[in-house]
């Protein structure tokens, strides 16, 4: 699996060198699945965020950096890879910014609304579920993917098979996420058995060390961790929620929201979305097709 990924990565980077004569910039994303050239003369009338990007000459994108297959930063190369990163790059390219004009800023789940509303990031692409609660502080383009809450356990565990088998088990998830809220609201385990961290990789470390019994969040995220460590980890049971992923934006910037929705719709229609998906998430076994946009 690792060799295959490496081989595909090398092939893609060879292609991207041929295509545009250079490799990914430091801290950029490695081996893009789709190398869209930056669109020329883009205008987004009435968008304060776009005006700020133009003044800066760069785009600041909020992402996750520890979710393999979605938003992941390689510790040795410092390069970002994954489905969310590719979506972020596609949007940037259609706003007129090539890959070397993107700055990635890692923002954990609990800090997203603050980072977006303060303008620390121009937009956010990182397994960010669209919901009414969050819409009070930010807005969303999309959805561009639909995940569902699942369970990750140690390979030798046969006791945890569904959300109804979590009582008495130590359940780990992330502060400020929809999955942890669901565990609390549906009382899937006792309050003292709920363990919270800022990131899912911290939960996965605790699972591997047997400090917790299960990690719960979106299946797409969990499948990425299981694929990294197939001898020790497995995803079990059916999903038990619907998590439509949106691109988080400033609440008042409806012009940018409309523009990004147009970019997403075009990528659904012209096959770009499918190419990005096949090169990233599709590999860890997440099945999906383009969702319906929620324009508002």
Q: Which residues bind ligand GLU (CB under 6 A)?
A: 109, 126-129, 174, 177-179, 217-218, 243
Rounded to a whole number of angstroms, the minimum distance from the CB of residue 156 to ligand GLU is: 26
Please state the closest distance from residue 17 (CB atom) to ligand GLU, in A: 33
107 vs 153, beta carbon nearer ligand GLU: 107
CB of 126 to ligand GLU, least distance (A): 6
Complete DSSP assignment for 121-166: SSEE-SS-B--HHHHTTEEEEEEEEEE-EEEEEETT--S--SGGG-
Residue of 121, 123, 124 lying closest to 109 (CA atoms): 124
Minimum CB distance to ligand GLU, residue 128 (Å): 5
SS3 content of the chain, % helix, strand, coil (to 5): 40, 20, 40
Would you say 270 and 195 are in contact if contact means Cβ atoms under 8 Å apart? no
Minimum CB distance to ligand GLU smaller for 34 or for 147: 147
Given the complex with ligand GLU, which of 32 and 248 has the nearer CB atom? 248
CB 198 within 8 A of CB 40: no
Which residue lies nearer to ligand GLU by CB, 50 or 225? 225
Distance (Å, whole) CA 26 – CA 10: 17
Minimum distance between the CB of residue 194 and ligand GLU, rounded to whole angstroms? Answer: 15
H or E segment and range at residue 186: none
For ligand GLU, the closer CB: 98 or 203: 203
């Amino acid at each position: 699996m690792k060799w295959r990924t490496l081989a595909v990565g090398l092939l893609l980077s060879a292609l991207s060198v041929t295509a545009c004569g250079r490799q990914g910039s430091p801290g950029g994303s490695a081996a893009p699945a789709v190398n869209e050239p930056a669109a020329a003369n883009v205008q987004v009338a009435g968008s304060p965020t776009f005006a700020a990007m133009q003044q800066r000459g760069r785009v600041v994108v909020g992402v996750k950096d520890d979710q393999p297959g979605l938003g992941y930063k390689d510790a040795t190369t410092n390069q970002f890879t994954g489905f969310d990163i590719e979506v972020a790059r596609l949007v940037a390219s259609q706003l007129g910014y090539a890959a070397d004009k993107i700055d990635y800023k890692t923002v954990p789940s609990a800090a997203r609304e603050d980072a977006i509303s303060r303008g620390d990031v121009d937009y956010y692409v990182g397994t960010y579920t669209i919901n009414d609660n969050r819409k009070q502080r930010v807005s969303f383009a999309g959805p561009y993917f639909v995940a569902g809450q699942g369970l990750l356990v140690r390979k030798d565990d046969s006791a945890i098979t569904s959300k109804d088998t979590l009582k008495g088990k130590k359940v780990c998830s992330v502060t400020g996420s929809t999955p942890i809220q669901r565990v609390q609201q549906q009382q899937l385990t006792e309050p003292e058995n709920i363990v919270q961290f800022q990131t899912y990789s911290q939960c996965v470390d605790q699972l591997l060390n047997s400090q917790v019994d299960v990690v719960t969040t979106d299946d797409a995220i969990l499948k990425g961790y299981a694929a990294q460590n197939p001898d020790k980890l497995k995803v079990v049971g059916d999903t038990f929620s619907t998590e439509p992923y949106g691109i988080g934006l400033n609440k008042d910037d409806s012009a940018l929201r409309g523009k990004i929705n147009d970019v997403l719709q075009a990528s659904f229609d012209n096959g770009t979305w499918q190419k990005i998906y096949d090169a990233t998430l599709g590999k860890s076994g997440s099945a999906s097709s383009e969702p319906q946009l929620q324009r508002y």
